[in-house]
Amino acid sequence: MAKKKAKLTDEVEKRLDEIFIEGDGTVDEENEPLETQVSPLRELQSVILSLDWEISDEVMSHFLDEVAKLKNNYNGNRIMAPFFKMLDSLGRYIKKYKAKTNPEAIKVLNSVYSALEKILSSDGLKEIEKETILLEEVQRFKDLKREIQGQKGVVEEKVKPGKPAAPLVEGRDVTIDWEEGQRMPEPIVAALNELKELIQAEFKALREEIQGLADELKAPKRKSGRKGKK
Amino acid sequence: MAFVNLKKKEVQVKIVYYGPGRGGKTTNLEYIYNKFNDRIKTEMIAIKTQGDRTLFFDFLPFEMGKIKGYDVKIQLYTVPGQVKYNATRRLVLRGVDGVVFVADSMKVRRKSNMLSVKNLQENLSTYKKSIFKIPLVLQYNKRDLAGDGIPLLSYETMEKDLNSRLKVPSFEASALKGDNVVKTLKKIITLTMAALEKEFK
């Protein structure tokens, strides 16, 4: 019996070797693990990678803590500080609205992070190049801010009366006050919710239908003696 | 249970890639499809949402040719990893012959891995299958992230968390780069075929 089993296993393995001829990048088990590069963004990158549909308070708090730590480390750096301000604002917004977050917010967060990483990891970048990267991200951030504020129209800038808005590159105006009534207009929220409910209902029905079909296929055919009530 | 057609001398084996969301189940199948498409000559079916997440399942069938006189057809499935799609996950598990559990090596995903194994156990039990008896291989994915300085769980920690009771074969892997993807697949097919032979004896 054992001999037979071995025979089958051998045959299967042989066939698999023929189909999946190696050179597939199989890890050499004796190799040492890759060396870890120490990056100041290491922890932040890890949290960002873990952001998906399951955005939780725990993950977002971790994210905000990490941003606060980095913000503190780069305090006074006119290029870096705005990046952390944007990440902080985005983080607070996503934490607050979770599943109701504007889908663009995650994209902008990733984009801001990538730009930040690029600046930090490229030693050869000139100051003007860094500023250009920052400006692009600030623009993206502002576009998102405008989109979220939507039809409300007027952007309630947090600038003191009589004082002109500070240039964004200096990072003084990259905060979104998500707490103070800058929400999507009610009709849009209602329409979105309606659409969401419709999609959820559709998927639920589809899943039930598939389940039913699968059950039907699996169940042995029975006599259809029962008649429906009239 | 595998579909066996004695008349046609055909065996269909169903293998499901299970695990937490964004763990790399689809990436495993995509790697196999992209790398060996010229040999397995098949199509991969994937139903994704806008955000590139698996909505229902991915499906990759291929033929292994004749083994002991039977045409062996392998069907690889993935389940949607997101917590809310448990009904779909359970449905995909129906008739499963072997499972690859794709765990995420990132430290921040430790809890998700453990919850997903528990979920696998529960869903298998609805079909009266035991996680301790079904052919199962663990894959600790995303090991390549160590190179990017991402904090990862050590192999020992993952073994302790996920495999201390199961005691099944496990591989460190990178589905994105292809490291140990094929090794995992070969292992689960071999284990499943051996189990099926035993079952049909």
Integer-rounded Cα radius of gyration of chain B? 16
Under DSSP, the state recorded for A98 is G
Q: B98 by DSSP, 3-state: which?
A: strand
B10-18/B3-5 β-pairing: antiparallel
Give the residue from B29, B73, B150 with the most A CB atoms within 10 Å of its CB, the best one to mutate: B150
Taking only the tens of pLDDT, chain B with its 201 residues reads 677 777 778 899 999 999 998 899 999 999 999 989 888 878 888 776 555 666 667 889 999 888 888 889 999 999 887 777 788 888 889 999 999 999 999 999 999 999 999 999 999 999 999 999 999 999 999 999 988 888 999 999 999 999 999 999 999 999 999 999 999 999 999 999 999 888 876
Q: Are B143 and B152 in contact (CB under 8 A)?
A: yes
Token pair of B128, please?
């009266």
Q: How many CB pairs under 8 A join A and B?
A: 122
- Nearest Cα residue in chain B from A59: B108
- Nearest Cα residue in chain B from A8: B194
A42 with B146: Cβ contact below 8 A = no
CA distances from B27 to A204, B71, B154, B181 (A): 26, 27, 22, 9
Task: Determine the distance in angstroms separating the CA of B92 from the nearest CA of chain A, rounded to an integer.
Answer: 10
β-pair partners for B139: B102, B171
ipTM for the complex shown: 0.82
Cβ of A19 under 8 Å from any chain B Cβ? yes
Cβ of B111 under 8 Å from any chain A Cβ? no
Cβ of A37 under 8 Å from any chain B Cβ? yes
B54-67/B70-78 β-pairing: antiparallel
Residues of A in contact with B53 (CB under 8 A): 52-53
CA distances from A31 to B11, B83, B187 (A): 38, 36, 21
Question: How deeply is B102 buried, as exposed, middle or buried, from its count of CB atoms within 10 A (0-12, 13-18, 19+)?
Answer: buried
Q: What is the pLDDT of residue B178?
A: 93
Residues, chain A, total? 230
Cβ of B74 under 8 Å from any chain A Cβ? no
**CA dist., res. A139 & res. A130, Å (int):** 14
Chain segment A18-43, per-residue pLDDT in tens: 888 755 444 444 343 333 345 678 77
B64 with A20: Cβ contact below 8 A = no
